[in-house]
Chains A and B, each alone.
Chain A
Amino acid sequence: GIQVEQSPPDLILQEGANSTLRCNFSDSVNNLQWFHQNPWGQLINLFYIPSGTKQNGRLSATTVATERYSLLYISSSQTTDSGVYFCAVVGNAGKSTFGDGTTLTVKP
């Protein structure tokens, strides 16, 4: 199956700083999504981005499908951005695979 690697595993920032999270995948995919998991476990859709670039407020994402990676940018981070960020892909066989996540801590 497709391997999904996220980096870094942990990230600690001061409020106001910018950050970049990375997701590498081992094969071509039909879908790539970024999620934020809140403390109650709910997965919040951030981006559906199998290719190209999207922006939503302080967050943006870029997927370069030919090079099999995606980046999630968080600008002017806030304490409420803390949590676990997951990248998930769906391969050609229709199977969904999650990365191990990046745990972000934003300190005031």
Chain B
Amino acid sequence: GAVVSQHPSWVICKSGTSVKIECRSLDFQATTMFWYRQFPKQSLMLMATSNEGSKATYEQGVEKDKFLINHASLTLSTLTVTSAHPEDSSFYICSAIFRGGSFNEQFFGPGTRLTVL
């Protein structure tokens, strides 16, 4: 149990296009989903916290107009990178907190590798 999926697993796009990444909790309802970004050889940096039915809370330095987060249901959150540029190339990972489970235990998706040409 407690499986989180992400789609797509990798994507290559041209500069200026928008890319949508989906994060789904497959077998549980998630109260909260987190979005992270990881550059090579670095740690995971929290981008935003997403709660179902409410606006996402963005970390300092993360442009909310560039990284649009929609948490439409208790099992789905989406991250849209708008007008992507090469510096947005990174590994994007989501996690979900199991509603009713261990307090704040995170379950992670497999990540999405974005390359912007």
Interfacial residues, chain A to chain B (CB-CB below 8 A): 30-31, 33, 35, 40-43, 45, 48, 50, 86, 88, 90, 94-101
Contact = CB atoms under 8 A, between A and B. Distances in A.
B104 interface: yes
B110 to A, nearest CB: 5
Contacts of B45: 98
B113 A41 contact: yes
Contacts of A41: 38, 91, 93, 110-111, 113
A33 B32 CA distance: 16
22 contacts: A30-B103, A31-B102, A31-B104, A31-B105, A31-B106, A41-B91, A41-B93, A42-B110, A42-B111, A43-B108, A45-B107, A48-B105, A86-B44, A88-B44, A88-B106, A94-B32, A94-B49, A98-B44, A98-B45, A99-B43, A100-B42, A100-B43
B67 interface: no
Interface of B: 32, 34, 36, 38, 42-46, 49, 91, 93, 95, 102-108, 110-111, 113
Contacts of B42: 100
A43 B93 contact: yes
A42 to B, nearest CB: 5
Given A41-B111, A41-B113, A95-B49, A90 B104 contact: yes
Nearest to B32: A94
A45 B101 CA distance: 15
